[in-house]
Amino acid sequence: MNLLKERIENACERLKLTEPIDHLREIAEEAATKELPYPEFLIRLLEREVAAANERATTALMRFASLPFYKTLEDFDFPFQASIDKKQILELANLSFVEHGDNVIFVGPPGVGKTHLAIALAIEAARARQKIRFTTLADMVGSLQRAFEVGNLSQRLLAYTKPKILVIDEVGFLPLDRAQSSLLFQVICQRYERGSIILTSNKSYGEWAEIFSGDEVIAAAILDRLLHHSTTISIRGESYRLREKKKAGLVGTKGGDAMTKN
**Residue 7 vs 241, nearer CB to Mg ion:** 241
Contacts of 136 by beta carbon, 8 Å cutoff, 6+ apart: 168, 169, 170
* Residue 136 DSSP SS3: strand
Please identify which residue in 9, 31, 64, 71 interacts with ligand ADP, judged by CB under 6 A: 71
Nearest distance, CB of residue 198 and Mg ion, angstroms: 12
Please identify which residue in 81, 83, 115, 180 interacts with Mg ion, judged by CB under 5 A: 115
Q: Is 83 in the site for Mg ion (CB under 5 A)?
A: no
Task: Compute the distance between CA of residue 214 and CA of residue 70 in angstroms, rounded to an integer.
Answer: 35
**Residue 24 vs 258, nearer CB to Mg ion:** 258
Does residue 137 contact residue 69 with C-beta atoms inside 8 Å? no
Q: Which residue is nearest to Mg ion (CB)?
A: 115
Q: Is 91 in the site for ligand ADP (CB under 6 A)?
A: no
Does residue 133 contact residue 66 with C-beta atoms inside 8 Å? yes
User: Angle of helix 216-228 relative to helix 178-191, nearest 10 degrees?
Assistant: 20
**Residue 76 vs 192, nearer CB to ligand ADP:** 76
Going by DSSP bridges, is the β-strand pair 132-136/196-201 parallel, antiparallel, or unpaired? unpaired
Q: Is 76 in the site for ligand ADP (CB under 6 A)?
A: yes
Nearest distance, CB of residue 262 and ligand ADP, angstroms: 15
Q: Is 114 in the site for ligand ADP (CB under 6 A)?
A: yes
Q: Is 173 in the site for ligand ADP (CB under 6 A)?
A: no
List, in sequence order, every residue forming a beta bridge with 136; answer none if it has no partner.
169
Q: Which stretch binds ligand ADP (CB under 6 A): 15-23, 75-83, 154-162, 191-199?
A: 75-83
Closest alpha carbon to 261 in 231, 239, 235: 235
- Site size toward ligand ADP, by CB under 6 A: 17
Q: Which stretch binds ligand ADP (CB under 6 A): 27-35, 104-112, 123-131, 140-148?
A: 104-112
CB neighbourhood size of 170 (10 A): 18
Does residue 209 contact residue 245 with C-beta atoms inside 8 Å? no
Contacts of 153 by beta carbon, 8 Å cutoff, 6+ apart: 144, 147
Q: Is 135 in the site for Mg ion (CB under 5 A)?
A: no
**Residue 193 vs 257, nearer CB to ligand ADP:** 257
Q: Is 136 in the site for Mg ion (CB under 5 A)?
A: no
* Residue 94 DSSP SS3: coil
Task: Compute the distance between CA of residue 166 and CA of residue 66 in angstroms, rounded to an integer.
Answer: 11
Nearest distance, CB of residue 51 and Mg ion, angstroms: 33
Nearest distance, CB of residue 174 and ligand ADP, angstroms: 15
Closest alpha carbon to 191 in 219, 218, 162: 162
Binding site for ligand ADP (CB under 6 A): 71, 75-77, 80-81, 108, 110-116, 200, 240-241
Binding site for Mg ion (CB under 5 A): 115
